[in-house]
Structure 1
Amino acid sequence: MDRMIYIAMTGASQAMNRQATVSNNLANAATPGFRAELAAFRALPVVGEGAATRAYVAQQTVGSDFSPGVLQQTNRDLDVAVEGAGWIAVQANGGEAYTRDGSFEIDANGLLRTRSGLPVIGDAGPITLPPGSRISIARDGTVSASLASNPSQTNDVGRIKLVNPDERTLERGSDGLFRPRDGSTAQADASVKVSNGSLERSNVNVVESLVDMIGYQRHYEMQLKLLQTAEQNASRSAQILTLS
């Protein structure tokens, strides 16, 4: 009896966790460059004396879906999308992290940042732009600035660090950014190119995620029915023992 209760209890708990994963993906369906999180269930034995026949359900995060999202034209000078494989380097928590979100803005100090406020890393650190200048970004990540008074004269002020580490070595942080598991820093890759005036949409499949959400809800309800069945069986067994 206790085996049914334990398996159903852990199954219901992990079904709720999996729903949270799908909900997070759905919440970021409109986030540029977002990579859907993948997770799976697995059965594990309970370790301990007298527990050799017991098992429980655990959720295992298996990684992220690195398939590319659709490119969407924005015609905005500070929007870029990575073409194919590659990442944009940003400064986060005192270190370097990588994102596919190329929606940039310039703060009051002339620092090039992402929409979430992270400085964009260039060849020599964060990229700083002269005030009142018009910005253009080339396919290789070179950032050029021209003054409004003389738009024909442009000056290169930096080059966005574009990297292409092995995706199998990357892990997602709690901030949604990716970093190498070994704590290393990826080297700039000249083969990575960006498309100016466009953004990469999230690769979350909304319809598929909604179907998964319904499926995990039914899975959760099934586990609760098992718990109710175990309670009913226990109650009937007690009645039989009482009559005996």
Structure 2
Amino acid sequence: MENAVFIGLSQQMALKRRMDITANNLANVNTTAFKSEHPLFEEFLVKRPDQDAVSFVQDYGSYRDLREGEFTHTGRPLDLAISGEGYFSIETPEGIRYTRNGSFRLDPDGNIVTINNQALLDENNRKITVNLQFQELTVAPDGTVTTGPGQTQKIGLFDFENPQVLKQVGSGLYDAENFQPQATTDVNIMQRTLEKSNVQPILEMTAMIDIMRAYQSAQQLLDSEHELQMKTIEEMPTVQ
């Protein structure tokens, strides 16, 4: 009886984890360049002497869907989208972080910054600063920023051997931790464009319904086992 209860509880714990991830995906359906996440589970066998092994479900981790979201034209010169596998590098108080959210603006000093006033960096990890006297700003597909006569800098575009190692730290930023980025040229920057989230809300809502049904089924199993245990306890004195 206890095995059935433990198996049911392990399933519910896994379903709760899956529900949390699904809810987070839905909450970010309108977040620029957000990448949906999905859980990974594996079977965990507990071997017992002279008995069959008991199969539990174990939360193994999660993976990020790296497919591009839909591109939308905004008309703003500092809205940038990356077509291909790559990330912008951003200077934060905690160190350099990476993002695909290309919604930038100019601060009073002429630095190109995020909405949280964190500086966009060039290919040498220096701040990209433009002359505020010139209103026209052009970003070439290779990331070259041109403002005024002869003033150019190149936006740093980086990639990783395995982008799944990047850790989300909020505000659309990723921490590479101890993994080294590599400069990438196999991408294009589209100016006046933003990448939408790649979350598919219909699929996420369907998944949420399936999770709820599975959770209820597991709860029914636990309730049945509890009733059986209570009935056994009540009848044991009679048997003796």
Which TM-score applies when normalising by structure 2? 0.87
1:221 and 2:223 matched: no
**Partner secondary structure for residue 4 of structure 1:** helix
Q: CA deviation at 1:132?
A: 4.9
Secondary structure at the counterpart of residue 173 of structure 1: strand
Picking from 185, 189, 194, the partner of 2:184 is 189
1:234 aligns with 2:229: yes
Task: List gaps (5 residues or longer) in structure 2.
Answer: none
Q: Match of 2:184, as an amino acid?
A: D
Q: What is aligned with 1:243?
A: 238
Question: Which 10-residue stretch deviates more, 40-49 or 77-86?
Answer: 40-49
Match of 2:144 in 1: 142
Cα shift at 1:106: 1.7
How many residue pairs match? The answer is 236
- Residue 117 of structure 2: SS of its match in structure 1? coil
Q: C-alpha distance in 1, partners of 2:166/2:231?
A: 50
Residue matched to 1:129: 130
Q: Where does 1:153-164 land on structure 2 (aligned, <5 Å)? A: 153=149, 155-156=151-152, 158-164=153-159
Task: Give 1:81 deviation, angstroms.
Answer: 0.7
What's the CA shift string for 1:184-220, capped at 9, x where partnerless? Answer: 3323223321010111111111100010011111111
Mean Cα deviation higher: 192-201 or 169-178: 169-178
Which residue of structure 1 aligns with residue 193 of structure 2?
Answer: 198
The TM-score with structure 1 as length reference comes to 0.85
More displaced stretch, 220-229 vs 48-57: 48-57
Equivalent residue, structure 1, for 2:169: 174
Q: Runs of 4 or more off by more than 4 Å in structure 1? A: 46-55
Percent sequence identity is: 25
Indicate conservation of the 8 Å contact 2:160/2:180, yes or no.
no
Confirm or deny: 8 A CA contact 1:45 1:52 kept in the other structure. Answer: no
Provide closer, same or farther for how the CA distance between residues 16 and 50 of structure 1 changes in structure 2, counting only shifts above 3 A: farther
Query: 2:169–2:175: 8 Å Cα contact kept in structure 1?
Result: no
